[in-house]
Amino acid sequence: MTDWLILAGGSGSRLGQDKAATPLDGRTLLDRARATIDSVDDTATIHVLDQAYPGGPAAAVVAGLTRCESAHVGVLAVDMPFAADALVHVWSARVKQPAADAWVPVDSSGRRQWLCAVYRSSALATAADSVDEWSGRSFASLVSQLACVDVPIDDSISLLDIDTPDDLRRARERTTNG
């Protein structure tokens, strides 16, 4: 069993609407995130961190950790509708390289996607305890000191996150064009 935290509490100000409720190809982004996790981990316990978890992704995950009981915690931002293939690679890396604290997809430009990853619960809790207040702090500041396995993701796998109307248009084009 693995606990999964879906980050769904952002205001969606750049997108102009609630991200979790945004439809894409007949399903909301929240429904797609749940389906993504279910496709990767059939024993998942999913926790949705919505507006009740304010202060940004780091603050939400730190607060959400109190709900988690498993040795590993997956994190998925609700605005990453095509993350399933990346998470399959991350999940596999976790099994092949179990000694790490985090398994994080890295795109061809070298950018880590921290909000589509799996973390060792104890390491994440230790990092969380290093600061008194996480509200407004970057997620990278929470996890960047962990012993990470970088999981290379080739360009055929989309790590698109939907932050703006243009991103949503690109996502809709991708679902239309396959």
Q: Is the model's pTM score more than 0.75?
A: yes
Chain segment 62-117, per-residue pLDDT in tens? 999 999 999 999 999 999 999 999 999 999 999 999 999 999 999 999 999 999 99
User: How do strand 72-77 and strand 116-120 relate by DSSP bridges?
Assistant: antiparallel
12-58 tens-digit pLDDT: 788 878 999 999 999 999 999 999 999 999 999 999 999 899 999 99
What does the buried/exposed string (b/e) look like for 138-158 if buried means 16 or more CB atoms within 10 Å of the residue's CB? ebeebbeebebbebebeeebb
pLDDT score of 9 more than 90: no
